[in-house]
Chains A and B, each alone.
Chain A
Amino acid sequence: MIKKYLLLNLFFFTSLIFGTPLYEFDNLEDEKRFYKLIKEIRCPKCTSGSLASSNAPVSEDLKLKIVAMIKENKTDNEIKEYVIKRFGQGAVYNPNFDKKTSFLWISPFILLFLASLTFIFRKK
């Protein structure tokens, strides 16, 4: 009976004993940062989809690179800069605010302003 029980344990738990984590981190903080970052970075090869959702070969490489950069204590911005430099501004879901993207950020407020004008000047 006990033998059967042990065998059953062996059957169910070997993968837990011999399994190793896919990405290794120094502490829990780093791990949380990693999972946050890969949701904010786009997969370079997909039309649209986060790095977290993708298992394309290049995404796997990029994830490993991000793990390595986190180990080197790089900040989130430095990591995002690395990605933007290589795969363009579209590689992050929150584009930086600069000359090229300013209209993208401001246009909703302009539209809101125009829409509010119609409310002010409409006929009673």
Chain B
Amino acid sequence: MKILFRLSILLIPMSLIIFLFVYLKEDKFYPGADFRNFNTPAFELPLLDKVNTVTNKDLGDEYILNIWASWCITCLVEHPYLTQLKSKKIPIVGLNYKDEKNEAINWLQKFGNPYELIIYDYKGQFALDLGVTGAPETFLIHNDRVLVHYQGEVNEKVWKDVFKPIIEKEGLFND
């Protein structure tokens, strides 16, 4: 009896820790990735390099939405990978986040433009509706629904781990 009591001092906290670990662990946990689906919020914003405005309807059925800014250093790090995606015929829509127009355009001229079109969100209100907390962040959107929300740099590993499985599952981008 006494040995049982002594053992319980060890076993009860241990089982509690194991229980918490199992209970609180998220099924599909990947740092920075969020797989909750939601409708793309409605918006009407100007384009970066043109005067006309765009709304949800002007964007395609399936595309990658990338939040970037010229002041964002990690955006420059992931920029070559986005260019690589563009060469694989994956449509990328850019969202210029809280940036000065001239600086953004200079940035694109200097490093190249991987985007099909660029939405200019100076106040960041559309980005806030999407749940953006900073730059860079990347979304996978299909039929006006967000399927993947990734916070941070997109590179080959992240693409393979986070985006590719969903793209294959949904059969997007002629895959």
Contact = CB atoms under 8 A, between A and B. Distances in A.
Nearest to A82: B129
Interface string A52-76: 0000011001101100000000000
B124 interface: yes
B23 A58 contact: no
- Mostly helix, strand, loop or mixed at chain A's interface? helix
Given A57-B98, A85-B38, A103-B23, A44 B125 contact: no
A86 interface: yes
B123 A61 contact: yes
Contact of A65 (B125, B133, B134): B125
Nearest to B38: A85
A45 B23 contact: no
Contact of A86 (B125, B131, B134): B131
A86 B133 CA distance: 10
A86 B146 CA distance: 12
Contacts of B131: 85-87
Contacts of B123: 61
A83 to B, nearest CB: 9
Contacts of A61: 123-125, 127-128
Interface in B120-140: 123-125, 127-134
Contact of B134 (A58, A62, A87): A58
B67 to A, nearest CB: 11
Given A45-B133, A85-B38, A65 B128 contact: yes
Interface residues of A, number: 13
Nearest to A114: B12
A88 B131 CA distance: 9
Contacts of A57: 98, 124
A58 B125 contact: no
B38 A58 contact: no
Interface in B5-40: 23, 34, 38
A10 B69 CA distance: 42
B103 to A, nearest CB: 16
Contacts of B133: 44-45, 58, 87
Given A44-B133, A45-B133, A86-B130, 6 more contacts: A45-B134, A58-B124, A61-B124, A65-B125, A85-B131, A86-B128
Interface of A: 44-45, 57-58, 61-62, 64-65, 85-88, 103
Q: Which 4 interchain pairs have the tightest Cβ spacing? A: A86-B131, A44-B133, A61-B128, A45-B133
